[in-house]
């Protein structure tokens, strides 16, 4: 994840803590996993979103200069986006991909909820408790601490079989499957850490310590001899993005353990995280190519191809956003230089990918490329925010936009 310093209650650090990866799970058939593309597993979601899909591969230029993007306007956009995120919340504390959606994919709410720790800590607490109450003990592969995706059914007013809400009733239907075990677990650990350091809620940690430990153990159980972590039970594939998240999640949770006096467990997980980092640099890095393989399987290592956006190009950025490489490090500058060379107009939506990828703009701001980051905000504002957030806008894009705007406000006050 983000070597984004644990927040300690400061909005900037809390925002930076929210940088995590959108781990790219690309299976052997070269099909892109629905999780990483923000897609719904539910056909009704997909039908509802059809209207926003047309023209998603068009080159969309910046509609106007970003002069209007003042700190005051940033504050307005942040408040509006936080309200939209909260509107994705279900009565039981979970989050759908968009308001009224039919799918809960816990990876995405893990990241979205981290954005809410400052403004809505009680909402985050409810989500954490929902997540823990929904753990598999064990799942169908025999691993405890995982969580599956859910389909949401909205029940008519007279139906009493669901969970009572203010305006509606719902039924959560587990799919018995998940896109990845490692990233779901790791991003949840970072969420718990962000919540803890913001609120100081020791009671939640201690009352649920066993279950949170089960979640941490998912990453430990999936670690291979080379230090890298398999995506899930039964898979022999390891992903750069996932392992960046795994590294961040274990380090974040280990800081909570240190604060709470669990020194042995904290040190154990730090050692696991260190092995993950060593695996990334020793196994995935190729000095001749000057880049990192985005996946490793028994068959091959898959390295980034020129001008291939996802997962190739964006995977390298997670080394920065997850804190494996400092933005000041020459390696980080080389990564960003290569990315901009391959995608010189990414900030205007010029890429062969229909999703906005707001986290790339976060990386841009971290690397000091503020102009491109603000041009991206302007493009997103024109294309999505002023048009009622059509698909493919969803909770992950929204969460990263809040992070981006908060970083932009903080950096502008320092200039």
Predicted confidence (pLDDT) per residue in 333-345, tens digit: 999 999 999 999 9
| Long-range pairs, 70-74, Cβ under 8 A, ≥24 | 71/409, 71/412, 71/413, 74/405, 74/406, 74/408, 74/409
Give me the residues paired with residue 229 across strands: 223
Under-50 pLDDT residues of the chain: 1-65, 164-167
Query: C-alpha angle 324/326/327, rounded to 5°?
Result: 130
CA separation for the pair 206, 200 (Å, rounded): 12
Q: What is the pLDDT of residue 161?
A: 66
In the chain the domains, ranked by start, together with CATH numbers, are: 11-49+71-414 (1.50.10.10)
Name the residue among 240, 234, 251 with its Cα closest to residue 279. Answer: 240
- DSSP 8-state code for residue 312: I
Element (H, E) at 171: strand 169-174
């Amino acid at each position: 994840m983000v070597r984004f310093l644990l927040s300690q209650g400061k909005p900037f650090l809390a925002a930076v803590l929210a940088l995590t990866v959108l781990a790219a799970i690309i299976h052997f058939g070269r099909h892109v996993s629905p999780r990483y593309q923000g897609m719904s597993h539910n056909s009704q979601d997909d039908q509802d979103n059809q209207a926003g899909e047309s023209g998603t591969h068009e080159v969309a230029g910046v509609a106007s200069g970003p002069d209007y993007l003042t700190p005051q306007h940033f504050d307005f956009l942040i408040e509006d986006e936080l309200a939209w995120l909260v509107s994705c919340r279900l009565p039981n504390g979970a989050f759908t991909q968009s308001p009224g959606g039919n799918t809960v994919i816990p990876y995405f709410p893990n990241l979205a909820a981290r954005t809410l720790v400052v403004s809505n800590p009680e909402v985050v607490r409810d989500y954490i408790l929902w997540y823990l109450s929904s753990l598999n003990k064990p799942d169908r592969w025999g691993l405890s601490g995982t969580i599956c995706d859910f389909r949401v059914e909205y029940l008519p007013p007279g139906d009493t079989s669901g969970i009572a809400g203010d305006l509606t009733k719902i039924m959560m239907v587990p799919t018995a499957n998940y896109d990845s075990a490692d990233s779901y677990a790791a991003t949840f650990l970072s969420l718990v850490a962000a919540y803890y350091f913001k609120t100081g809620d020791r009671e939640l940690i201690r009352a649920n310590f066993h279950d949170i430990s089960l979640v941490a153990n998912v990453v430990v159980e999936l670690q291979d001899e080379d230090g890298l972590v398999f995506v899930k039970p039964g898979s022999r594939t390891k992903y750069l993005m996932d392992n960046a998240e795994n590294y961040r999640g274990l380090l974040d949770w280990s800081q909570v353990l240190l604060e709470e006096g669990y020194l042995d467990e904290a040190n154990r997980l730090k050692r696991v995280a260190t092995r993950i980092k060593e695996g990334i640099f020793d196994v995935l890095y190729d000095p001749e190519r000057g880049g990192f393989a985005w996946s490793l399987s028994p068959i091959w290592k898959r390295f980034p191809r020129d001008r291939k956006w996802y997962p190739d190009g964006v995977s390298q950025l997670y080394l920065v956003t997850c804190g494996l490489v400092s933005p000041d490090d020459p390696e980080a500058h080389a990564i960003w230089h290569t990315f901009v060379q391959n995608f010189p107009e990414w900030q205007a939506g010029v890429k062969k990918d229909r999703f906005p990828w707001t986290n790339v703009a976060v990386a841009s701001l971290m690397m000091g490329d503020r102009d491109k980051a603000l041009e991206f905000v302007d493009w997103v504002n024109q294309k999505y925010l002023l048009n009622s957030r059509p698909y493919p806008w969803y909770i992950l894009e929204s969460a990263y936009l809040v992070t981006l705007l908060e970083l932009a406000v903080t950096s502008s006050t320092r200039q």
